[in-house]
Chain A
Amino acid sequence: MTGGFDFGPRRHPRRMSLTPMIDVVFLLLIFFMLSSRFGMDTVLPIAGGAGGGESAWQGAPRLVRIGADDLALNGVAVAAADLAAALAPLMPQDGGAVILRPAPGADLQRVVSVMDLLRDAGFDDLILVE
């Protein structure tokens, strides 16, 4: 019983064909190239009205009403360029929050633009209220 089965002449391909593997790799490459997203998103910290309340309000009222294309600080219309200068004297020593109140008609892009404006001027604590 040493003969066993006869499998016929052994075939040894000298070299495996690489083509199918390259096909698959290209397919994966194209899939990941098309499905990947570049450029990480960024976020803005945002605080809502209710809750929070970790400390009492300090200093003068600072309510910025954001209209579709106008701004008002404590009810007085103010130009976007003058907003930071008008807010500065109202801030307490150790920095405080500024309340933003979007008016009907102001979309989110407008609100975020005003938030950017204030953050650039150093007002980081922004509260969005209804």
Chain B
Amino acid sequence: MPPRRRRGESIIPMINVVFLLLIFFLLTAQIAPAPPFDVTPPDSRSDIPAQARGVLYVSAGGELAYDAARGEAVWPLIAARTDEGPLEIRADEAVEGVRIARLLKRLRTASDADLRLVVGGG
């Protein structure tokens, strides 16, 4: 029995698979702005998913960043937020706990949004 000769592999199935992967990654990717500095959130066993509407970044040294604002300039922006859901604090695991406590106190007076601390999946 002579082997069936094929004119070359069809590439259509491969294109199908590639399109499928492309659409999968398109849908799962979240286009988030790059963090203003490297932040490693602390690990926790919490299982409440993040929403990432408004994120206040706190670096290991305690610098603040919110949107394009840095340092003290974040406070007018935070006070001006209206009805954007909870404010997420993305703080580095190495920042002093006292600093976060002080920040929370100031946030409480500046805004009445719910506060959430972003943690890494445990």
B69 in contact (CB, < 8 A):
no
Contact A44 B116, beta carbon cutoff 8 Å: yes
List residues of chain A with CB within 8 A of the CB of B112: 51
Assuming the A-B contacts A29-B18, A42-B121, are A120 and B45 also in contact, with contact meaning beta carbons closer than 8 angstroms in the complex?
yes
Cα A110 to Cα B88 with chains together (Å): 19
Q: Per-position contact with A for B6-34: 1 when CB-CB < 8 Å, else 0?
A: 00000100010011011001101111100
Our pick among B31, B51, B97, B108 for the contact of A111 (Cβ within 8 Å) is B97
Contact B101 A25, beta carbon cutoff 8 Å: no
List residues of chain A with CB within 8 A of the CB of B74: none
- A42-B119, A108-B42, A116-B44 given; 4 more Cβ-contact pairs under 8 Å: A37-B30, A48-B101, A50-B109, A110-B97
Q: From B55, which residue of chain A is reached at the shortest CB distance?
A: A41
The B-contacting residues of A in range 54-113, CB under 8 angstroms, are 66, 101-113
Count CB-based A-B contacts (< 8 Å): 164
Q: From B12, which residue of chain A is reached at the shortest CB distance?
A: A18
A3 in contact (CB, < 8 A):
no
Cα A30 to Cα B46 with chains together (Å): 32
Assuming the A-B contacts A25-B18, A25-B22, A43-B46, are A107 and B96 also in contact, with contact meaning beta carbons closer than 8 angstroms in the complex?
yes
